[in-house]
C-alpha cells in the first residue's frame, strides 16, 4: 500500500509543527543568526548572572528551534523516504546541528575550568534552574584528563572504535534451512522464527547453521569483542576511574551496589524461579532434557482474536483508568490531534517509537496489525508520549528531558496494566495462558537474561583490567560455563552454544543491559501496587512522570516510591513473576 491510499485520520499531522516550508525557514534563519552570535559570549558568559542568563536564553532558543526542525524532518523522512524536498531539509538541519556543536565546544570546558565563577552565576534566583546543568558538568570535570591528553583521546577515538566498527559491518552468511527440500533464508531475524517451530529438526538445523558460522569466525569475534572491552578499560583508566564499571555508571550517577544487586537477585536469590520455569517447560514439551534450541518454542497458542483500533483504544482507556481523567485526556489528545501514524506502507520505517521535543507533540510511529501484540506496543509508546508531554508541560526546557535510565518505566508500567485488564477480560483458559506465557517470556528476557549478560560482560572487563588475555577460548568457555549454571541441569548446553556470546551486539554497548532489569522490576512493582488500589503509589508515580530530569535517575525513582537500591523492590518484582508462573500453571 502507498501512503496516499491511507485515511488522513490514521496518519500523523506534522502541520502542527510547521504549517509550511516558509515557517520552517523562519526558524532555520533565526538559528543561523543565533549561531553567529554564540562566539561573542566565549570570554564573558560566566562573568555575571545577567550575562549568563542572556547566553543561556540564546542557547535555549537555538536548541529548541533545532530540535523542532529535526523532529519535523526526521518524522517526515521516516514515512516518506523518497520525498527529495524533505530529504533536503533534513540534511540541512543535520549540518546546522554540526555547526552548532562546533561553536559550543567551549561551554563545558569553560565551566569545568572555572568552577567558582560557575557556582557564582547560578546563585541568583533567576539562574537557579541551571544548577543541575552546571553541577553535572562540574561533577564530570573531576574525571577530565589534562588538555593535551584529552586532545590525544579525541584524536584516537575513531581508532579505538574500529573493533566495534568491524563487528558491526561484518555479516557472516548462514547456510539456509532446509524444510521439505525447500531452502529457507537464515539470519538473526529469521532464526527467532525458526526457533519457534514445533519441528525439532528445523530448530536444530537453524541453530547449528547459525552458530556454526559464529564458531568458524570465533577468532575474529574474539578480537572485535576484546578490542572493545580493552577500549572501555583504557577510557576508564585515563579518566581516573577505579574500573570500567564505575566509569560506565558515572553519567547516571548510579552506585556499583545497584549493578551487583541486580545480578545477585537474578542469578542467586531468585534463580530458583528460573529453574522452576525450565522444569515446567521440560514437562510441557515432554522431554527428558531440553536443548538450547527448545527454549523459544511457545508454550501457549495465540488465540484467533482480531482487535480493531477502536478495540485497542477501548482497552487502553480501561487499563489506564486508574490514572484519572487528566492522564486520559492526554491519550484523547494523542488520538484526536493525530499524534499517531498507525499503519505500515511502502517505504515507511518499520517498528515503533515515540518521538518529540519541547515544542512539538510527542509523535508515535506504529506498524499496527490487528493483534494483541500491537495493542501492547501502542500502550507502550503512549506511555513514553505521556511521560514526555507531562515533563515538557511541567518543567523548564533545561530540566524536561528524562534519561534513558528511567524512560522505560513509563512505557512498561502501561504494558503491565494492560496485561491485568486483558486477563480480567479473558474468556477462555487458552486466552489467559497465551497472555501469561508472553508476560513470563518477556520477564525472563528482562529480569533474568539481562543480569546474566551483565555478569558475563563484567567478568570480561575485570579480566581485561587485570591484563588477562581475552582469547577466543577464554571468552567462549567462560560463556559456556555461565550458560550451564544459568539454565541448570535440565538443559543440555553444547559446545556450540558457547558462541552465542558473539551474536549479542549489547556486549559492545559498555554495561547497558542492567538498566532493562531495573526498569522492568520497578515497573512491575508500580503497576501491581496501583492495580491493587495503592493511591499513594499512584500519586507518586504521576509526579514522577512530570519530573523530567530535575534529579538523578535513582533520586527520581526514590521519589516515585520505588528505590531500586532497596531489596523490597526485587522481592516484590520476583514475587510478581512467581505469580505469573503459578497462574500459568493453573491454566494448563
Ligand atoms: Zn520503550
- pLDDT value at residue 582: 98
- The stretch 342-346 carries a mean pLDDT of 95
Contact (Cβ atoms closer than 8 angstroms) between residue 37 and residue 58: yes
Confidence of residue 154 (pLDDT cuts 50, 70, 90): confident
Distance from the alpha carbon of residue 398 to the mean position of ligand 1, in angstroms: 23
Give all domains of the chain, ordered by start, each with its CATH number.
3-142 (1.20.140.70)
* Cα–Cα dist 119/121, whole Å: 6
* pLDDT tens digits along 117-135: 999 999 999 999 999 999 9
- Average pLDDT for the chain: 96
Distance from the alpha carbon of residue 376 to the mean position of ligand 1, in angstroms: 11
Distance from the alpha carbon of residue 364 to the mean position of ligand 1, in angstroms: 11
- The stretch 192-209 carries a mean pLDDT of 96
* Cα–Cα dist 339/546, whole Å: 20
- pLDDT value at residue 151: 87
Concatenated DSSP letters of 23-83? HHHHHHHHHHHHHHHGGGGTTTTTS-HHHHHHHHHHHHHHHHHHHHHHHHHHHHHHH-TT-
* Cα–Cα dist 509/365, whole Å: 25
Look at residue 171 and tell me whether its pLDDT is greater than 90: no
Distance from the alpha carbon of residue 257 to the mean position of ligand 1, in angstroms: 25
- 83 φ/ψ angles, rounded to the nearest 5 degrees: -80, 105
Distance from the alpha carbon of residue 81 to the mean position of ligand 1, in angstroms: 24
Look at residue 189 and tell me whether its pLDDT is greater than 90: no
CB atoms within 10 A of CB 386: 26
Distance from the alpha carbon of residue 238 to the mean position of ligand 1, in angstroms: 34
Distance from the alpha carbon of residue 528 to the mean position of ligand 1, in angstroms: 19
Look at residue 471 and tell me whether its pLDDT is greater than 90: yes
Distance from the alpha carbon of residue 140 to the mean position of ligand 1, in angstroms: 28
* Cα–Cα dist 60/277, whole Å: 51
- pLDDT value at residue 102: 92
CB atoms within 10 A of CB 439: 23
* pLDDT tens digits along 75-133: 999 999 999 999 999 999 999 999 999 999 999 999 999 999 999 999 999 999 999 99
Contact (Cβ atoms closer than 8 angstroms) between residue 228 and residue 464: no
- Chain position carrying cell 483458559: 429
* pLDDT tens digits along 388-433: 999 999 999 999 999 988 999 999 999 999 999 999 999 999 999 9
Distance from the alpha carbon of residue 395 to the mean position of ligand 1, in angstroms: 22
* pLDDT tens digits along 314-325: 999 999 999 999
* pLDDT tens digits along 483-502: 999 999 999 999 999 999 99
Per residue, what are the HEC states of 520-566? Answer: HHHHHHHHHHHHCCCHHHHHHHHHHHCCCCCCCHHHHHHHCCCCCCC
Confidence of residue 436 (pLDDT cuts 50, 70, 90): very high
Contact (Cβ atoms closer than 8 angstroms) between residue 451 and residue 271: no
Look at residue 469 and tell me whether its pLDDT is greater than 90: yes
- The three cell numbers of residue 474 are 577464554
* Cα–Cα dist 482/263, whole Å: 13
Confidence of residue 147 (pLDDT cuts 50, 70, 90): confident
Cα dihedral angle (485, 488, 492, 493), rounded to 10 degrees?
A: -20
Distance from the alpha carbon of residue 549 to the mean position of ligand 1, in angstroms: 17
Look at residue 512 and tell me whether its pLDDT is greater than 90: no
Q: Give whole-number Cα distances, 380 to 164, 181, 377, 526, in Å.
A: 31, 41, 5, 15
CB burial class (10 A; 0-12, 13-18, 19+) of residue 128? exposed
- 280 φ/ψ angles, rounded to the nearest 5 degrees: -65, -45
Distance from the alpha carbon of residue 404 to the mean position of ligand 1, in angstroms: 9
Distance from the alpha carbon of residue 354 to the mean position of ligand 1, in angstroms: 8
Amino acid at each position: 500500500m502507498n501512503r496516499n491510499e491511507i485515511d488522513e485520520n490514521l496518519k500523523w499531522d506534522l502541520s502542527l509543527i510547521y504549517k509550511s516550508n516558509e515557517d520552517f525557514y523562519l526558524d532555520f534563519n533565526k538559528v543561523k543568526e543565533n549561531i553567529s552570535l554564540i562566539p561573542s559570549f566565549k570570554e564573558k558568559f560566566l562573568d555575571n548572572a545577567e550575562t549568563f542568563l542572556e547566553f543561556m536564553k540564546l542557547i535555549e532558543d537555538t536548541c529548541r528551534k533545532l530540535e523542532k526542525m529535526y523532529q519535523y524532518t526526521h518524522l517526515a523522512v521516516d514515512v516518506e523516504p523518497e520525498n527529495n524536498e524533505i530529504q533536503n531539509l533534513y540534511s540541512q538541519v543535520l549540518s546546522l546541528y554540526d555547526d552548532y556543536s562546533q561553536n559550543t565546544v567551549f561551554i563545558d570546558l569553560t565551566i569545568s575550568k572555572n568552577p567558582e565563577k560557575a557556582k557564582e552565576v547560578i546563585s541568583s534566583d533567576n539562574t537557579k534552574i541551571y544548577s543541575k546543568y552546571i553541577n553535572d558538568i562540574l561533577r564530570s570535570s573531576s574525571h577530565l584528563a589534562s588538555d593535551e591528553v584529552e586532545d590525544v583521546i579525541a584524536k584516537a577515538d575513531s581508532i579505538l572504535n574500529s573493533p566495534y566498527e568491524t563487528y558491526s559491518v561484518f555479516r557472516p552468511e548462514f547456510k539456509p534451512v532446509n524444510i521439505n527440500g525447500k531452502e529457507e533464508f537464515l539470519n538473526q531475524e529469521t532464526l527467532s522464527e525458526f526457533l519457534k517451530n514445533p519441528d525439532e529438526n528445523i530448530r536444530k538445523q537453524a541453530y547449528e547453521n547459525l552458530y556454526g558460522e559464529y564458531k568458524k569466525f570465533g577468532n575474529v569475534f574474539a578480537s572485535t569483542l576484546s578490542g572493545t572491552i580493552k577500549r572501555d578499560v583504557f577510557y576508564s583508566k585515563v579518566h581516573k576511574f577505579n574500573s570500567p564499571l564505575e566509569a560506565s555508571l558515572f553519567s547516571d550517577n548510579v552506585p556499583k551496589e545497584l549493578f551487583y544487586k541486580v545480578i545477585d537477585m537474578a542469578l542467586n536469590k531468585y534463580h530458583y524461579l528460573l529453574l522452576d520455569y525450565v522444569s515446567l517447560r521440560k514437562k510441557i514439551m515432554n522431554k527428558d532434557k531440553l536443548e538450547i534450541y527448545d527454549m523459544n518454542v511457545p508454550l501457549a497458542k495465540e488465540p484467533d482474536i482480531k482487535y480493531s483500533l477502536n478495540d485497542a483504544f477501548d482497552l487502553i482507556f480501561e487499563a489506564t483508568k486508574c490514572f484519572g481523567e487528566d492522564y486520559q485526556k492526554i491519550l484523547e489528545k494523542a488520538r484526536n490531534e493525530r499524534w499517531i501514524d498507525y499503519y505500515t506502507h511502502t517505504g515507511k520505517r518499520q517498528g515503533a517509537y515515540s518521538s518529540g521535543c519541547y515544542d512539538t507533540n510527542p509523535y508515535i510511529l506504529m506498524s499496527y496489525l490487528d493483534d494483541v501484540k500491537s495493542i501492547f506496543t501502542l500502550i507502550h509508546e503512549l506511555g513514553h508520549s505521556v511521560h514526555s508531554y507531562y515533563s515538557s508541560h511541567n518543567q523548564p526546557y533545561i530540566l524536561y528531558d528524562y534519561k534513558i535510565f528511567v524512560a522505560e518505566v513509563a512505557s512498561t508500567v502501561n504494558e503491565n496494566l494492560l496485561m491485568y485488564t486483558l486477563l480480567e477480560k479473558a474468556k477462555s483458559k487458552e486466552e489467559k495462558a497465551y497472555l501469561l506465557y508472553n508476560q513470563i517470556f518477556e520477564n525472563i528476557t528482562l529480569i533474568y537474561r539481562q543480569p546474566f549478560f551483565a555478569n558475563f560482560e563484567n567478568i570480561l572487563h575485570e579480566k581485561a583490567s587485570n591484563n588477562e588475555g581475552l582469547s577466543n577460548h577464554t571468552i567462549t568457555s567462560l560463556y559456556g560455563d555461565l550458560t550451564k549454571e544459568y539454565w541448570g541441569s535440565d538443559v543440555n548446553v553444547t559446545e556450540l552454544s558457547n558462541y552465542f556470546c558473539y551474536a549479542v551486539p549489547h556486549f559492545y554497548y559498555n554495561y547497558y543491559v542492567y538498566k532493562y532489569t531495573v526498569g522492568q522490576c520497578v515497573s512491575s512493582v508500580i503497576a501491581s501496587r496501583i492495580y491493587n488500589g495503592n493511591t499513594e503509589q499512584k500519586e507518586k508515580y504521576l509526579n514522577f512522570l512530570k519530573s523530567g530530569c530535575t534529579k538523578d535517575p535513582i533520586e527520581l525513582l526514590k521519589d516515585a516510591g520505588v528505590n531500586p537500591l532497596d531489596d523490597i523492590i526485587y522481592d516484590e518484582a520476583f514475587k510478581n513473576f512467581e505469580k505469573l508462573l503459578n497462574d500459568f500453571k493453573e491454566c494448563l
